[in-house]
């Protein structure tokens, strides 16, 4: 096996693979990267047993050339160290050692592991693949993955539930908030409901080239997500995802429309004055009053609303952090809060927003 890469190609490849290389595992060979030099590409495979990434590097005669075919499992350090070199870097397998050279003055040597010992990575799709544009994939994931649970108390809630059928729905909740995005499909697909680990989706969102399309292929126990020359594989989370549809209200007692920028800036200001990030909102006359406090300080701000229908003097308390994260996912100059009472969940939506989404927040019962 012998091939030559430039520093930029190595760094780009490591950026793709690093999310699973950073994970600590109990299988020694998974600490390495499987490298296969073939006539038409160099294939790099990394895995932590739960997530796997395959990245192809295509020869072009300039930044990438392939002289001899072969395969080996290289240590992570072999790529981390060589990425600090410059110019053209040659990798050559001599017996069971990897020789790395750069020009005539730099020579490095690394031990390798047998490629046949590396676990086989692949999927056997059980349903038709789903093809999305990079933009649609970003809308689907970025507006839901932030709301997954951060603890393993209920493992299934650490993932995003994907429901396929007449449309494609992504749902996430940590029991205190909920995010849901619906994307129409050109044709109805077989109904499938799976839950994908949030960390994997976050990794994919950061690594994928969103100017290119995304292909989702679902297996009985895993999902494959292909983008350009990169494929992410992930195990699915086990367990039944809760029925969240009953949590989303369809009728409301009050609707409050506000300027999105002014409201966001007010929440950011007052959240710093609350020890637990709790803010109280009260609709009073022509204004909305926002209040927060801690042991040593308190804050108050009044905003003019655009429109309000509902009970005068309505009051609700909520986590400013949860609401601010929801507002980041809404692309609109004006937002509307829909209430069903001070103790029931309320929803946040953008005015005339193109993406069909629901951002739901549970109120805080004490202030």
Q: What percent of the chain has pLDDT over 90?
A: 76
Res 339 pLDDT > 80:
yes
Helix (H) or strand (E) holding 9: helix 7-21
Report pLDDT for 327: 97
Tokens of 91: 């990798």
> Right CATH number for 2-117 from 3.40.50.2020, 3.10.150.10, 4.10.95.10, 3.40.50.2000?
3.10.150.10
Res 284 pLDDT > 70:
yes
Q: What percent of the chain has pLDDT over 70?
A: 98
Sign, Cα dihedral of 99, 101, 105, 106 = negative
Least trusted range by pLDDT, from 23-27, 93-97, 192-196, 254-258:
23-27
Report pLDDT for 133: 95
Q: What is the CATH number of domain 130-246?
A: 3.10.150.10
Work out the average pLDDT over 87-103: 92
Q: What is the pLDDT of residues 9-19, one digit of tens each?
A: 999 999 999 88
Report pLDDT for 105: 85
- End-to-end alpha carbon distance in the chain: 66
CB 305 within 8 A of CB 258: yes
Name the residue with higher pLDDT: 352 or 3.
3
> 2-117 and 248-361 share one CATH topology?
yes
Topology of the domain covering 248-361? DNA Polymerase III; Chain A, domain 2 (3.10.150)
Report pLDDT for 22: 66
Report pLDDT for 122: 82
212: DSSP letter: S
Res 367 pLDDT > 50:
no
Under the banding of pLDDT at 50, 70 and 90, the label for residue 207 is confident
Report pLDDT for 366: 63
Q: What residue ranges do the domains of the chain occupy?
A: 2-117, 130-246, 248-361
Report pLDDT for 23: 59
Res 127 pLDDT > 80:
no
């Amino acid at each position: 096996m012998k091939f030559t890469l430039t520093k930029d190609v190595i760094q780009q490849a490591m950026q793709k693979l690093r999310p699973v290389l950073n994970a600590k595992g109990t299988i020694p060979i998974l600490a390495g990267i499987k490298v296969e030099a073939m006539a038409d590409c160099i294939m790099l495979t990394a895995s932590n047993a739960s997530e796997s990434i395959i990245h192809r590097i295509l020869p072009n005669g300039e930044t990438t050339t392939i002289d001899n075919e072969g395969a080996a499992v290289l240590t992570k350090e072999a790529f981390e160290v060589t990425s600090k070199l410059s110019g053209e870097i040659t990798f050559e397998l001599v017996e069971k050692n990897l020789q790395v050279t750069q020009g005539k003055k730099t020579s490095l040597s690394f031990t390798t592991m047998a490629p046949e010992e590396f676990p086989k990575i692949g999927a056997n799709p059980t349903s038709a693949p789903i093809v999305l544009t990079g933009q649609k994939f970003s809308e689907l994931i970025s507006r839901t993955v932030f709301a997954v649970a951060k603890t393993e108390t209920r493992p299934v809630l650490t993932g995003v539930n994907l429901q396929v059928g007449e449309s494609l729905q992504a749902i996430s909740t940590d029991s205190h908030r909920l995010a849901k995005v619906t994307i129409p499909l050109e044709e109805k697909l077989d109904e499938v409901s799976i839950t994908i680990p949030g960390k994997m989706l976050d990794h994919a969102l950061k690594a994928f080239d969103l100017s290119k399309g995304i292909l989702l292929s679902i297996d009985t126990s895993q999902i494959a997500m292909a983008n350009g020359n990169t494929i992410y594989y992930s195990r699915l989370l086990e367990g039944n995802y809760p029925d969240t549809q009953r949590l989303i209200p369809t009728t409301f007692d009050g609707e409050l429309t506000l300027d999105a920028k002014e409201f966001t800036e007010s929440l950011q200001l007052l959240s710093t004055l609350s020890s637990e990030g709790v803010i109280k909102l009260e609709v009073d006359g022509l204004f909305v009053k926002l209040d927060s406090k801690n042991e040593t300080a308190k804050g108050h701000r009044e905003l003019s609303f655009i429109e309000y229908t509902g009970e005068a003097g309505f009051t609700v308390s909520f986590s400013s952090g949860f609401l601010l994260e929801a507002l980041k996912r809404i692309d609109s100059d004006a937002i509307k809060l829909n209430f069903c009472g001070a103790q029931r969940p309320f929803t946040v939506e953008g005015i005339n927003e193109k993406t069909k989404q629901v951002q739901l927040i549970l109120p805080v019962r004490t202030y």
